[in-house]
Amino acid sequence: ETGVTQTPRHLVMGMTNKKSLKCEQHLGHNAMYWYKQSAKKPLELMFVYSLEERVENNSVPSRFSPECPNSSHLFLHLHTLQPEDSALYLCASSQFGNEQFFGPGTRLTVL
Amino acid sequence: KQEVTQIPAALSVPEGENLVLNCSFTDSAIYNLQWFRQDPGKGLTSLLLIQSSQREQTSGRLNASLDKSSGRSTLYIAASQPGDSATYLCAVSRYGGSQGNLIFGKGTKLSVKP
C-alpha cells in the first residue's frame, strides 16, 4: 500500500457504541493529523501528533480520543458520540510543517 | 484569529477556458499555503505548496501565486477540462510551534462543462 490509508471507509454507529478509526501512512513522515469535515463548514483540525507526541488539540470533546502508537499509525477512538458528530473524518501526514498528504477519509454516521 | 476566504463559492465554465480561483487570509504571518482538490465524498489531493518566501509554484496546467503582504493567493488553471471538476480548497499554516495547523477555506466548487 502507498500513501495514507484509512479504515473503515464507512461506519454507522449508535450513540452508545465504542468504535475506532485507523490511519496508516507509508510515506516515512513524522507528523500525523486528524481532521473533521462537516457539511457547509470548513475542514477543522482536531489533533496533531509530531514524533508520536500530541502537539495540538483543538478543543475537541473528550468523546474523541486519539492514539499514536508509532509514527506510521494513528487511531481515533470514539465513544458515546452524538448525531452532530456525523461527518467525514480525514487523516493526513507530513514531515512536520511541510506538505500534508490526506487519506480517503471515513464517512461516519451516528444514529 | 486566522480566517481563510475563498471566492467564488461555485464556478461553472465551458471546457477549454482559463480560470482563476481566489483565496484570501487575514493574518499574513503564514508559514506556507497549500492548494488541494477534493472529489465528492473523497479525501484531499495536494496540488501545490507555496512556502512563505516564494511567490509562485507551477505544476502542469496549474499555477499558484502568493502575495503575503496583501493576504492573497490565486490558483490559475489553464485550458480547463471536465476532469478538473472538483472542489478546490486553500489552506494556510502559521509560524511558530503550530506549523502543522492548517486553516482551511470553505472551497470553490468548480464545474467544467464539455
With the CA atoms of B75, B79, B82 and B85 taken in that order, what torsion angle do they form, in degrees rounded to the nearest 10?
0
Say if the Cβ atoms of A100 and B32 lie within 8 Å: no
Q: Residue A87: name the closest of A50, A55, A46 by CA.
A: A46
Cell representation of residue A34: 486528524
State whether residue B106 sits within 8 Å of chain A by CB.
yes
Please count the CA atoms within 13 angstroms of the CA of B83 that sit on its side-chain side: 3
pLDDT at residue B65 is higher than 90: yes
Say if the Cβ atoms of B93 and A97 lie within 8 Å: yes
pLDDT class of B17 with cuts at 50, 70, 90: very high
Express each pLDDT in A41-97 by its tens digit. 889 999 988 877 777 777 899 999 999 999 999 999 999 999 999 999 999 999 877
**Residue A54 confidence (pLDDT):** 75
Which of B4, B43, B49 is facing A99, going by the closest CB pair? B49
Q: Give the total residue count for chain B.
A: 114
pLDDT class of B56 with cuts at 50, 70, 90: very high
Which of B36, B43, B46 is facing A104, going by the closest CB pair? B43
**Residue A41 confidence (pLDDT):** 87
**Residue B95 confidence (pLDDT):** 64
